[in-house]
Amino acid sequence: MKLVDFTEDEHLKTLNHSCAHVMAQAVKHLYPQAKFWVGPVVQEGFYYDIDLGDYSLKDDDLPKIEKEMKKICKDGKRIVRHEISKEEALEQFKDDPYKLDLINRFPDGTQISMYTQGDYTDLCRGPHVETVKQCRNFKLMKHSGAYWKGDKNNKMLQRIYGVCFDTKEDLAEYLEALEEAKKRDHKKLGREMGLFTITEYAAGMPIFLPNGMILRNILEQYWLQEHTKAGYNMIKTPIIMSRELWETSGHWEHYKENMYTTKVDGRDYAIKPMNCPGALLVYNSSLHSYKDLPYRLAEMGQVHRHEASGALNGLFRVRTFTQDDAHIFITEDQLADEVKRIISLIDRMYSVFGLSYKIELSTRPEKGYMGEIEMWDQSEKALADACKAAGKDFDINPGDGAFYGPKLDFHIQDSLGRVWQCGTIQLDINLPARFGCTYVDKDGQKKMPLMLHRVVYGSIERFIGILIEHFGGHFPLWLAPHQIVVIPVHQEKHLAYAQKVKETLEASGLRVDLDDRNEKLGYRVREAQMQKVPYQIVVGDGEEENGTVTIRRSGSRQSETLKLDDAARRFVNEVDTKALFEINE
C-alpha cells in the first residue's frame, strides 16, 4: 500500500483537475447559487473553494454530491477547450466576483481559455482528460472552511476535497493506504505509546515523555557517534542573542516576523530561529589557516520560530525544535569532496532507518535574496557540479533556495510512499562575508572561506514524527523505548525465573520490563502487542526446566523457543547491527 503525491504524476494531475470540474458541475446542479473560486490539484488530490451563500455543507451532503457526479460521469460528455477574449469573459462572468477577480489579472487583449462539459463552463488553463467518463473512479474525502485567497479578512468559502484514479482498484488501494496512514498517525501513536504530549500552555512546543526521551536520546547518541567518526567538532551556542547579531546575519531584515524578541538591559534580543550565526561566532573566535579546513562544527541546537496556530501539527509543525545543524568552512577546491562526504554520511544514516531519498537543487528566490545574481549563478553551478561529482542525480526546484544561498534538499520516502524534506546542504558565501570570516592561505594571504549549512534529521522532533509513522510505532529493536517484556505464565510460580531472564538480558545492555500483574496470560501478551514492544518473552514450566525462553515478535503470531544465552546474543546482535524487520499485523 502506497500513498501518492498527485502533483508529481502528470496524468493523475490532469485526471484529478478534470474531476474537480465534475464536482463543481455537480455542486452547481444541487446548489444553483454556488460560485467557484479555484480548484487546484494538491499533494493529496484536488479541492474546490466554493461560495454557497448562506448554506453550510454538512457531512451527509458529500454522498449527495457524489451521486450527482456519478450521473455526470455516466452521461459521458466530452470536455471541450475554447478561447474567448478578456472582454467576452468579463461579460460572461459579470455576476461572479470570484471569476472577475481572476479575469482581471490578465492583460488586456489576452485570449482566455475555457473548458466546457455539458451545461458547465469554467475558466481554466488545462489540460483536461477527453471525457467526464474518465473521472468516474473518485471519492470525496472531506470538507472544510477556507478564506478567499487565504486572507482571514475575506469571506469564508467552503472547500471540498477529493481524489480520482483511473481504476476502481487503484482507488481502493489508495483508500486502504489512507486508512493505514490513520492508524500510523504520530499524534495518536505518540499518545498511546507515551512518547510525547502537547499542552495548551505551550502551543506548538512538544513535551517529551519518558518513553519519548529514550527514543530521542538514542537518535541523538547515534547522530553524535556518526559525526564524531566523520570529523565534526561539537559546539553549543546561546539560545538568545542580541539584535545586532541578527542584523549582521540578515535575519532581522528577512525573518523578523517569525522571531520571538525581547529586551534585556534596554537592548533588543531575539531567541534564535537558526543556529548559523552562533557557528560563525565560534569560527571567528580563533584564527584559521588553510590547513584547518574543512573546519566542521556540529550542534544539536534548539530554535524557536513563530508559526500560525492553524498550521501547528503534532511534531510535524511546531514552534520550537532542535536542528542537527552543522556548519562547514571550506575552500572552493574542497567543495566537491566535502559534498560527497556529506552525501555519504546522509546515505549511511538514512539507510539505517530504511529510508530512500531523492535530491533537489533549489535555486535563487525571485525576491528577498541576498547578494548579486552573478554570485548566485556561480554558487548554483558549483553545488550542481559537486552533486554530479558525488555521482548523484538531482531535480531542479526553481526559486526555492534560502535567502542567503542555493541548496541541495534531500526528500526521503517513508514506508507509505510519502515524501518528506529532511536533509539539506546549503552553500553560503553571504554570511561568511557579512561576518568577516577569513583564513590564511598557503601564500600567507587572508581569504574568505565558503560555508556549508547542513542537516541530516532536519528537525529531530519532526524526524521522530516521521519515524513513528514510517514504522507504525513498531520501532526496530535498537530504537524501541521498551525492547523486551518478560511475561511469566503464572505470576507466582514462574516469577523467580522471569526475574532471572530479565536480569540476564539487562546485563547485556537491553531494556527489559517484567509484566507480573495478576492478569490472564493472553491479556498481558495482547497488551504488549498493542504497546508494540518488539519482543515478548513468555516463560513457564518448560522454559524454567530447560533454561529457555519462548519469544514472540511484535506484529507476528509465530513464536520460537531458544536457550536464554542464545536469545540474549541474538538481541544484542540485532541492536548492534541496527537491523530492520517487517511487520505484518
Is-contact 561 549, C-beta < 8 A?
A: yes
Say whether 319 is catalytic.
no
Give, rounded to a whole angstrom, the gap between the first and last alpha carbons of the chain.
14
Q: State the Cα–Cα distance between residues 186 and 215, nearest whole angstrom.
A: 14
Cβ-proximal residues to 8 (8 Å cutoff; 6+ apart), any chain? none
Q: State the Cα–Cα distance between residues 535 and 537, nearest whole angstrom.
A: 6
- How does DSSP classify residue 104? T
Buried residues in 153-177 as b, exposed as e (16+ CB within 10 A): eeeebbbbbbbbbeeeeebebbeeb
Is-contact 371 254, C-beta < 8 A?
A: no
Catalytic residue among 325, 409, 428, 515: 325
Q: State the Cα–Cα distance between residues 294 and 297, nearest whole angstrom.
A: 10
Catalytic residue among 186, 251, 305, 470: 305
Catalytic residue among 19, 124, 135, 276: 276
Catalytic residue among 251, 272, 317, 327: 327
Peptide bond between residue 63 and the one before it cis (omega within 30 degrees of 0): no
Catalytic residue among 128, 216, 407, 474: 407
Element (H, E) at 564: helix 564-576
Say whether 323 is catalytic.
yes
Say whether 29 is catalytic.
no
- How does DSSP classify residue 286? S
- Judged by DSSP in three states, 102 sits in helix
CA-to-CA separations, 29 to 23, 35, 118, 469, 548, in angstroms, rounded: 10, 12, 12, 40, 71
Cβ-proximal residues to 136 (8 Å cutoff; 6+ apart), any chain? 70, 73, 74
Nearest to 259 by CA among 240, 276, 235, 278: 240
Q: Could you list the active site residues? A: 276, 305, 323, 325, 327, 407, 453
